[in-house]
Amino acid sequence: MSNILNITNGDCAVEIMQKAGVPGVFLPWRDVLHDGPVPEGLSLEQLSEVRAQFISDQGWGEHQHIKQSFIERDNTLKSFESYDKVTLWFEHDLFDQLQILQILDWFHAHYPATQSLSIICVDQYLGLLSPDEILTLFEHEVPVTESQLKLSNTAWSAFRSSTPENWFALLKADTNPLPFLKVAILRMLEEYPACSNGLSRTAHSALNIVQQGETNPGKVFSLYQKTEERRFLGDSSFWILLNEFLGSSPELLTLSDREELDITANPDNKLTISTIGKDVLSGERNWLDIIKLDKWIGGVHLTPANIWCWDSATNSLIKST
């Protein structure tokens, strides 16, 4: 069978799958759903417009090109009935788990009983596998079940809700149909501001690495990745976080020259943590008292009037009053 639609997490995986001779058409799901707004009440097409605007606003590409890419992606998804089979290829990390929820939620509403829909989801990073290793993943292919579709519908709705309670409640729900989901739910909750100092888990890790003596931005990112049990964050998202520290008043980090950090930044740049940065890291100051909070996590828009924080000691979510 060669009339197959293979949906996967990005272009790196597609390139390896093509080299391996995996049959069919390939659809990379190019979206970092753990960053930026994913509000409720929007159709696939409407949400794609929101996501395209967010991605272009970050400087990650030209808006019209990104928008057209989303249109083409959505049209390919909607043409799924022209294929004999649809196979999802994904990983265990937060980046992929959110993509799985979005795709399976869409199939929950559109999937006919006559269509063949399967999933391969493993605890390996597809983009790091060899073509031969990719081919071994076929042994993990299983049909998508009704329970997976229902769970994805529930979890995707919870993620897009304007408050995080339903997402938090999933920690106590039965998520076994998607065995990697529960850890991803917890990891997303850890990106809420910490009750102790206002830093997300990622932000705390980044500051801590600089405080411990690493000054090279690229090496800071590499060391940060080693703190993740399941790596999900790309360097572009990490640079935005570091630039927030560099651009705050007072600043938490300083740079040996004043250019913004990005993937093309001067490798000789050196990061230094400021006294304020050390105070925030220790909990003597709160990051939320320094910045004007404006952050989206799924459908939750965090602002000074809508602060939710995460207590890692008790694994609890608390609304600031």
224-250 tens-digit pLDDT: 999 999 999 999 999 999 999 999 999
Is residue 307 in some structural domain? no
CATH number (domain holding residue 282): 1.10.10
- Distance CA(262)–CA(242), nearest Å, equals 10
Domain count along the chain:
2
Q: Are residues 20 and 117 in the same domain?
A: yes
Looking at the fold, whether 130 and 206 belong to one and the same domain comes out as no
Mean pLDDT of the chain: 94
Q: Please check whether residues 150 and 275 belong to one and the same domain.
A: no
Q: Is there a single domain that holds both residue 205 and residue 146?
A: no
Residues 120 and 49 both lie in one domain = yes
Same-domain pairing of 151 and 32: yes
pLDDT at 188 over 80: yes
pLDDT, tens only, 248-288:
999 999 998 766 666 555 667 899 999 999 999 999 999 99
Contact 269, 131 (CB under 8 A): no
State the pLDDT at residue 111: 79
Q: Assess if residue 319 is contained within a domain.
A: no
Residues 144 and 238 in one domain: no
Q: For 157-286, where are the E strands, in sequence order?
A: 253-255, 271-273
pTM metric for this prediction: 0.95
Would you say residue 270 lies in a domain?
yes
26 and 113 share a domain? yes
**pLDDT tens string 118-169:** 999 999 999 999 999 999 999 999 999 999 999 999 999 999 999 999 999 9
Domain that holds residue 238: 201-292
What DSSP letter does each residue of 14-48 carry, written as one string? HHHHHHHT--SEEEE----TTSEE--SS--HHHHH
What pLDDT sits at residue 40? 97
Task: Say if residue 8 is in the same domain as residue 154.
Answer: yes
Residue 301 lies in a domain: no
Q: Where are the beta strands (DSSP E) in the chain?
A: 4-8, 25-28, 36-37, 85-91, 116-122, 142-143, 253-255, 271-273, 295-298, 300-302, 308-311, 316-319
Please report, for the domain that includes residue 92, its CATH number: 3.40.1360.10
